[in-house]
Amino acid sequence: MVSLCLTGDLMLGRLVNEALLRYGPAYPFGNVLDEFCRADLRLVNLECVISDRGRPFSRWEKAFHFRAHPQALRALQLARIDCVVLANNHVLDYEEEAFLQMLELLQGAHIPYVGAGRNLLEARRPVLLPTQSGPVGVVAFTDNEPGWKAGPHTPGTHYLPVAPESLPVLKEQIGQARAQGARWVVVSAHWGPNMRLRPPPHFRAFAHALIEAGADVFHGHSAHVFQGLEVYRGKPILYDCGEFVDDYAVDPVLRNDWGLLYRVELEEKRIGKVELMPLYIDNCQVNLATGPTWEAIAERMQMLSAELGTPVSREGTRLWVTC
């Protein structure tokens, strides 16, 4: 059995960057660091560029620009991050110069990345993460910032609209990961608008189609708030994992400072269960939620998942979904 930790967006720029430089690279992860280290693999969406170069993107209007100092690489290493998803709407916030430096820094730190690259071929390529039980393949795409789509000879993200015409591309990538030896395949998607608690029907149909195409886990993010978990054909669909670390203003109703750490058990012939650990973000740091906050997160997750036809089990302070 392989345990895979999945999170929402990891944003290490702005105030988080300042805290990281002031208090040390372990600071943003709080007491979640111990949970990370208990897993076999850790996959996160890196919602910023890591670089000390570039200038804020200005070719069209963009409200937010996120950049972390290269010392943030040490934070990723301390958290034992095995792969970062770069298919999102912030990796080119400081234009191509900073983006290309980040790719070099990640390679130098031996941290694989997926969903973006120096050209379209690299942006589309699956990544295989080795484990003692066999490789886990990761495929990633985003429907954000179509202007950042990688070209045959230009850097960028693996952009795809959430539409039927995109499915053959992703099916090909899933097949490519299998052909390269992947025992399990995760599809990671930075998709949809912000601050939505529920996936729209066409997103559900799209995720279902990817499970039917051979994906074992769907890992969604982008909404800033977590959405429900659905088990479809015995495979978990995490429509949106919400936030993991950030410095964002908090909506008092939607509570984008609430999150979850998802630990997926990849068994030999099936997905066993998904452990759900409620999280709370405060002062640029994530920690395991406790007390009334834990209860509120658990209740929301149970409600949202029940709407998708999936029960969330609870025993004491344990939450899980059986696949």
User: Residue 113 and residue 15: Cα distance in Å, rounded?
Assistant: 24
Predicted pLDDT of residue 269: 85
Burial of 130-158, coded b for 16+ CB within 10 Å and e otherwise, reads ebeeebbbbbbbbbbbeebbbeeeebbbb
Enter the tokens of residue 13.
């720029």
Predicted pLDDT of residue 230: 98
| Domain count of the fold of the chain | 1
Its pTM stands at: 0.98
Backbone angles phi, psi at 9, to 5 degrees: -75, 135
3-state secondary structure string, the chain? CEEEEEEEEECCCHHHHHHHHHHCCCHHHCCHHHHHHHCCEEEEEECCEECCCCCCCCCCCCCCCCEECCCHHHHHHHCCCCEEECCCCCCCCCHHHHHHHHHHHHHHCCCCEECEECCHHHHHCCEEECCCCCCEEEEEEECCCHHHECCCCCCEECECCCCHHHHHHHHHHHHHHHHCCCCEEEEEEECCCCCCCCCCHHHHHHHHHHHHCCCCEEEEECCCCECCEEEECCEEEECCEEEEECCCCCCCCCCCCEEEEEEEEECCCCEEEEEEEEEEEECCEEEECCHHHHHHHHHHHHHHHHHCCCCCEEECCEEEEEC
Domain CATH for 193? 3.60.21.10
Predicted pLDDT of residue 284: 98
User: The domain containing residue 36 runs over which residues?
Assistant: 2-322
Backbone angles phi, psi at 36, to 5 degrees: -55, -45
Q: What is the mean pLDDT of each run of 10 residues along the chain (323 residues)?
A: 97 98 98 94 98 96 96 97 98 98 98 98 98 97 98 98 98 98 98 98 98 98 98 98 98 98 95 98 98 98 98 96 98
Let me know: does 25 contact 17? Beta carbons within 8 Å.
no
Predicted pLDDT of residue 49: 98
